[in-house]
Amino acid sequence: MADIPVDPATFFCYYNGFEFPVETQPITVSTTPVYDSAGRTVTHTSLAISLEAYIAVHAADDYDSTDDLMSGIRQMLTAPAGELVIQGAGFGALHVNAPGAGGMRDVVWGPKPRMLSERYLGGRRCWKISWEVEVAVLDQCFKSKSFFGHPMEFNYTVSQQIATSGLSMITYTGHLKIPQTRSFNDDRRINDNADIYRDQVVPPLLSLFRRGDRNFSLSEDRCTLNFTITDNELPAWVPPQHTHDIKLSHTVRSMTQGLLKWAHTFAAQYSLIKGRMREHAWAHFGRYVNACIAQMQKRIRCTVLPVDLTISEPDLYGSVSGSFALTIVQTINQDVTDTLYSMFTKQPQRKVIANAIFQSFALWREPPDGDNKNFNVWSQSMENFGAWGTRGLSQWEFENSQDGIIDPCMTIEGEVLSATEPPDVAEPDPGGNLVAGPRLPGTNVSIDPGLGLPPLEIPQAVTPEPSASWFAYQNWVEAYQQTDRLIHKPLPSRYNALTPAADETSIHDVSGYYYAAYSGAPDHVIQDRAAPVNGIVLTGSAVRIGYEITPPRLTSYKGVPVVEAPQGRTFQTRSWAVLGGQVLVMARWSIPYWFTKLPTRAISTPNTPITLGLDKPLGKQPQADLGPPVVQGPGGGGNGGLNVPVIGPG
């Protein structure tokens, strides 16, 4: 703080239209450097200026009092953002808020009068005033002091939150301040706002991170932009283009005894950028399914049959664009089944065998475009289409015309805001980032504006081996006995005539009459002409792909030869084309058989082509009850033949 003596010959002091008398003194100036929130630098200098002056009128001035003069002085010396000039006091020239956009300007909506004290000296003609004003200027700058289009302060904190999985979430929290004041005292328009500089405060995206929530708030004085930005580390693969969230799963489960048939369920849920077509999600899902099926057929000779497809719009008004689920059935041969068993029994080779099995099932494979090298393509698609842009999909930004300074002194004529045009202001520099950090490796990334992805196409299924072509096969048996038995009925000795009377032995006829029972008839004679025929009925059904189904033939049962009965046989079959260009065949049958002699063991269900040789322990240990079929059917082992199932000993 310093008291500056005033030389009336050179002193000039002016504020907002009022010129202080040359007798004004003393002048006291207090200079305070104002540091930024980090305490690292001075953002501006605050000057607290106080001075005293005498206001008097003389009789020769044709004024009876200082009434009008003091009223005008109060109005001028209490209004903010006026032009301030102090020179000739040996303090250095201070000229703040000159008309127009040039020269030194206050940086926080000032100059701001803080106090006006008036002391009456007598005679209605003389007053002593003490006035204090605060000015914020870039007095610490040795270079240009023009501030339009340049931030005055920018600071931020950065924090890392590490989850138990080891993945990180990076959070940036900070603010940006700009200098601002009125172009002149009566101007109520906003010339600049901190939101214009939003692009400069957003940090570059770290590699293999996903941009999270971004919060921006603009202060009431429009000089401060507060922000919070989070980036989340990707847990696994890079998502496809235009997709901000995706859930993709592949589940495998066994379906039948012997681990020969497996159900694969592919399920996905996509959240695309607003406005992007749902076909993007469907196409990506199709590419993943196609790649998995191709890998299955490359690793092992198998049959793949789609059996169920679900397409859903889970939330038409939400962010989830679509979900898909596809179930396919994969049949494999006995060799692969034995390999599965080896994965649990052969300790030294367990890891190698497990990897081979997982590859055969297309598990833990990379999804389409999921490699890290595609990160730039994905992140640029999210930014270029607005999802990760600094202003989001709406592209909202604060306009200066949305605001104006409202106070009781404004004149309301039509529009609320003053019609005075703001001065020409240098345009803010839109380029560059103020937040330092890793940059994306390369920006010349080609983004596919269209689909660019193939539709879902199930590849042409490889024709399976006959033994692996069965999707379902079941048999059941029903025992029966056919006798050659007769009933001899000797004639009665007496017969009663027709009578309407009724007694307890009568039988009612539809005509309403009653017939008396026979009387005097001898007992019936039951005669077995030959030994009964014992047999079973073989009933079953099957589903097969790529081959016809012929009726099974039972050659023996429980060690007893059987022959097909001459009547009662039924067999039905039908076929239709399915995805992948294959033919699905279904059949059902009912075939009666006769035993040549009675079996000595209990009846049970015979084997099928699926269970034949597979219901013994894995590893092909021998079992007494099972063996090769007694009779081989035509085409049983030929690739592409009919492979008629022949049922051996039961």
* Alpha-carbon gap, residue 186 to 628, rounded angstroms: 107
Residue 318 contacts residue 279 (beta carbons within 8 Å)? no
Please give the pLDDT value at position 410.
64
Please give the radius of gyration of the chain, using alpha carbons only, rounded to the nearest integer: 49
Cβ partners under 8 Å of residue 235, min gap 6: 165, 167
Q: For the chain, which residues make up each domain, given as ranges?
A: 2-137, 243-369, 466-484+530-647, 490-523
Q: Which amino acid is at 362?
A: A
Residues sharing a CB contact under 8 Å with residue 45, sequence separation 6 or more, in sequence order: 31, 32, 33, 34, 136, 137, 138, 139, 140
- Residue 461's pLDDT is what? 53
Assess contact for 421 and 187: CB atoms under 8 A: no
pLDDT at 629: 30
Alpha carbon separation from 54 to 26, 28, 75 (Å, rounded): 12, 16, 17
The pair phi, psi for residue 71, each rounded to 5°, is -65, -45
- The hierarchical CATH code for the domain 243-369 is 3.30.70
584, β-bridge pairs: 545, 576
Amino acid 7: pLDDT? 65
Closest-CA residue to 177 (of 197, 204, 207): 197
- Residue (of 648, 635, 646) closest to 546 by Cα position: 635
Using 50 as the pLDDT threshold, list the residues of the chain that sit under it.
412-433, 435-454, 504-508, 510, 613-650
pLDDT at position 522 is 76
- The pLDDT tens digits for 85-123 are 998 888 888 999 988 767 888 999 999 999 999 998 877
pLDDT at 262: 87
The answer to whether 425 and 101 have CB atoms below 8 angstroms apart is yes
Q: What is the pLDDT of residue 335?
A: 63
- Give the single-character DSSP code of 30: E
Could you tell me how far CA 422 lies from the centroid of its own chain? 46
DSSP run (H or E) holding 380: helix 375-384
Summarised one tens digit per residue, pLDDT across range 149-185 is 788 999 999 999 999 999 999 999 999 999 998 887 7
The DSSP output letter for 493 is S
pTM as predicted: 0.69
Nearest of 115, 49, 107, 109 to residue 78 by alpha carbon: 115
pLDDT at 91: 82
**Cβ 105 vs Cβ 10: under 8 Å:** no
The pLDDT of residue 19 is: 92
